[in-house]
Amino acid sequence: MASLSSRADDEEERKRRSRLVMLDVDAEAGGTANSSTTAATAAMVEERAASSTPPNQQLARPCGRLLYFSQPAVNNDDRRWDHGDNDEMKRLQQMRWEKKRRQMYEETSNQQKEIQLCKSNEVPDFLKINPYILYGYRPLLPLHLCLKSIFIWSNETINIWSHLLGCLIFIVLLPYDNIYTIPNSSGTLADHIVCSVSLICYQICMICSAGYHVFYCHSPQANVRWLAFDLSGIVVGLMGCYIPGVHYAFYCVSLWENLYLFSVIVLSLIILTIQLNPKRLSDSLAFTISRVLMYSLLACYGIIPSAHWFYMNGGWKTEIVRVFIPKLISMYLIGLGAIFFYLFHFPERLSPGSFDIIGASHQIWHVFIFFSLIWWRKSYLEVLDYRTSNTCTSDISHL
């Protein structure tokens, strides 16, 4: 009898929850979007959430003028949800939470004029990328405030401007190199094309990164979409390094140039396909480490053509090798430094909260990436100058 009574209570609880799911919050709040109804709706949502939300679900604390909701997830260990229509309950719960979030967002986004920075416990989980950054988070914002946030100090300001300015610098360098640098080195049409493609790749890398840090706080969907752009931009940036590097390394041996470029493109496409899998578009620690390892693999692949080029040019006794190998090693050291800061959250790990706005690891990572691309451009232009002033037979001893 006790079991039957418990089951009846559970069924009644399920029906009550289903009714709550289908209620129209907007109608109960009066259907107008002013400050009083917004407060009333918020109170109503809080009260309803307390009575109908499973134990493992909690509303995020409000920050600024918007109230945000965590991603719904059913606690399968809770007997109240162990019914035959569990999948339907999940779907209805998802709809209810999304409806609440969307309504509160629409009611307040047009009223919100200023951006209030938040603590880490006041924003949705998908905005908290670094556990050692405790303040300076932007809340979920409409698009116009995402753009406005470019010009305020937050924990994303340096991340945004380091690569936004980087993109602008590479845009300026594109005509500069084509009008001044390459002609001064007596470059050919192929040199103009190679250098231009490289700089355009750098621009894409920079703008995708900056765009992600500007717009990922717009919504969970925008976060995933812009993360995909950011990951794609990294691959494009690496391609921008490989194209001039391989071209000038095997300037005199087109067979090897074409072979290595083809292999790099194939490897890049494979890595990009894996990384853009929707299940992997997350900033969880496991996927972050996986991405770093894959991109490191793509970067380290360059050691193979570099070793071949070193041997093909006669080793350390050759002038071009003595000039270029130190630059290549410096490039890899910059990359290793960037990865160190990125993976180990240094220095904010040592003092959480002290580097929220300036000096965080991701900001250092951004600066390192920008300077690595600047360094590589300078390096391949020096090799271009060497190639145009020396014949192929003078520095190629054997294949």
Residue 371 sits in a domain of what CATH number?
1.20.1070
Name the pTM for this structure: 0.75
Shared-domain flag, residues 197 and 325: yes
pLDDT of residue 145: 93
Residue 121 within any structural domain of the chain = no
Shared-domain flag, residues 323 and 250: yes
Residue 52 within any structural domain of the chain = yes
SS3 110: coil
Length of the chain: 399
Distance CA 320, CA 262 (A): 25
pLDDT of residue 85: 54
> Considering 83, 112, 141, which residue would you say is the last residue of a domain?
112
165-193: per-residue pLDDT in tens? 999 999 999 999 999 999 999 999 999 99
Residue 297 within any structural domain of the chain = yes
10-54: per-residue pLDDT in tens? 555 555 444 443 343 343 444 444 444 444 444 544 444 444 444
Shared-domain flag, residues 90 and 199: no
Q: Mean pLDDT, consecutive 10-residue segments, the chain of 399 residues?
A: 52 50 40 46 47 40 48 41 57 70 57 81 88 94 93 96 98 97 93 97 97 94 92 95 94 91 94 85 78 91 94 86 91 94 94 95 97 96 88 57
113-154: per-residue pLDDT in tens? 678 899 999 998 889 889 999 999 999 999 999 999 999 999
Residue 119 within any structural domain of the chain = no
Shared-domain flag, residues 25 and 107: yes
Distance of CA 303 to the CA centre of its chain: 26
> Considering 112, 130, 163, which residue would you say is the last residue of a domain?
112
pLDDT of residue 206: 98
pLDDT of residue 89: 73
Shared-domain flag, residues 340 and 215: yes
Shared-domain flag, residues 98 and 161: no
Shared-domain flag, residues 104 and 154: no
Shared-domain flag, residues 83 and 170: no
pLDDT of residue 320: 85
pLDDT of residue 342: 92
For the chain, how many structural domains are there in total? 2
Distance CA 143, CA 318 (A): 56
Residue 247 within any structural domain of the chain = yes
> Considering 112, 135, 159, which residue would you say is the last residue of a domain?
112
SS3 65: coil
Residue 128 within any structural domain of the chain = no
**Percent of the residues in the chain that have a pLDDT greater than 70, as a whole number:** 71
Domain, as residue range, for 71 = 2-112
Best CA proximity match to 124, nearest among 186, 77, 60: 60
Best CA proximity match to 372, nearest among 320, 322, 332, 324: 332
Shared-domain flag, residues 97 and 225: no
Shared-domain flag, residues 91 and 190: no
Shared-domain flag, residues 107 and 168: no
Residue 191 within any structural domain of the chain = yes
Contact of 64 with 112, CB cutoff 8 Å:
yes
Helix (H) or strand (E) holding 119: strand 118-119
pLDDT of residue 177: 97
Residue 30 within any structural domain of the chain = yes
Distance of CA 74 to the CA centre of its chain: 28
Shared-domain flag, residues 38 and 163: no
